[in-house]
Amino acid sequence: MSEKRCLAGAFFPKDPAEVKITRMTGQVHQQIEQIYHEASRQIFASLARALRDLDLAEDAMQEAFASATLQWPGDGIPENPVAWLITTGRFKAVDAIRRREKLKQISTEVAARMHRVAAANASHAATEIEDDQLRLIFTCCHPAIDQNVQVPLTLREVCGLTTDEIARAFLTTPTTMAQRIVRGKAKIRDAAIPFVIPDLAELPERLDSVLSVIYLIFNEGYSASSGDSITRSDLSGEAIRLCRLVLQLLDDAEVVGLLALMLLHESRRETRQTNAGDIVLLADQDRSRWDRNLIDEGQRLIERSLATRHFGFYTIQAAISAVHAGAVTADGTDWDQIVSLYDVLFRIEPTSVIELNRAVAVAMRDGSIAGLEIIDAILKRGDLVGYSLAHSARGELLRRVGRMPEAIEAFETALTLTEQASEQRFLREKLRNLRLS
């Protein structure tokens, strides 16, 4: 038996034409995967606008990509693959409605709507897709939707974050978060919330939620909550792009401040991890490699926001980042200014996470004991007990004051609370060094 298998493999190879076709098919599938990675949420947004049903749009998008894997290897990749996927998704949705014999009057309405959209000039496809993403964000942040649902719903439907990722960002359980997202989708469908960018007069009442969405997208991209890499450039880049779009609609100080904040953080991306993917702390980063163009743009935007005298949460955070960016060395950081800015930030937004960040700044200015007292008080009242970074920060301050057994315990707790591979390696190395000392 083994001899026959050997002969089949060694002496009767596949026809060269068949090998070539197989190779081409593999290349096409790789390109389809890349398109899915880069454009799936844009395609989803366009389908959601046309279909007015988020679940139906998701199913239609998946069906369109499935059709692409079958057709494109033989027919070739279309000149505008994104437009092809949107068009295919529309008709897949109509077919699905008809197959299920669900509300035939809606089927007619959807088909008519699709016909109008399909007749649009293909040369404007990219712009329409960008607008569709923004429309979907504003739809998910409609005032008729409960405020604690708006941001999670948008993160799920516009950005494609998983329910687990969103739950971690909000420090809640995946089950609770899934229920919120289901409620939000049902509200959009049942209340027939329009998929439109609101008039200028309506923008301010939705702006806070929209900026929160963009901010959380960036956070997930800048410090990924799970996976092998600590960053996800696709998400942080998308957040910056969306913020620029919002700024075109509304020249608001906080939109400017958020854009500045993201650009300043993004300027440090390339220095935040080693080639092996290990974390490099801010104090150890090679500042000569920070992107000066992004820093300069961020600093100009901060000045623009501050000049309005109507700035807030995002602008103050950007100012803190600007202090770091302005320090030639870690030792030259103006921690007194940073603590003062955190004082202002905490008055604007008195959250435990901001209090934790302020505690670290206080430790750098006044010594580890001062910062440790603040972190212990936060944890004692039950806040951030499930937040890995709180225990990690506490462990580092305990290490600095020589309380090694407590430091080990804190780092062990932090290790159990993170699903980020780089953070896990970082914490294990900390623990190894502490146990050897």
* Angle, CA 69 vertex, CA 132 and CA 181 arms, to 5°: 40
- Of 157, 287, 225, 135, residue with least CA distance to 419: 225
Report pLDDT digits (tens) over 343-353: 999 999 999 99
Report pLDDT digits (tens) over 28-85: 888 888 888 878 877 888 887 777 778 888 888 888 888 888 888 888 888 888 888 9
Structural domains of the chain, ranges and CATH numbers in brackets = 1-120 (no CATH), 350-437 (1.25.40.10)
Taking the C-alpha atoms of residue 243 and residue 248, their distance in angstroms, rounded to an integer, is 9
Report pLDDT digits (tens) over 375-409: 999 999 999 999 999 999 999 999 999 999 999 99
- The answer to whether the beta carbons of residues 167 and 176 sit under 8 Å apart is yes
- Of the listed ranges 107-116, 371-380, 427-436, the least confidently predicted one is 107-116
- Of 276, 274, 353, residue with least CA distance to 313: 353
* Positive or negative torsion for Cα 30, 31, 32, 36: positive
Find the mean pLDDT for residues 287-306: 96
What is the pLDDT at residue 313? 93
User: 104: buried, middle or exposed (CB in 10 Å: 19+, 13-18, 0-12)?
Assistant: exposed
User: 236: buried, middle or exposed (CB in 10 Å: 19+, 13-18, 0-12)?
Assistant: buried
What is the pLDDT at residue 231? 65
- Of the listed ranges 54-68, 101-115, 236-250, the least confidently predicted one is 101-115
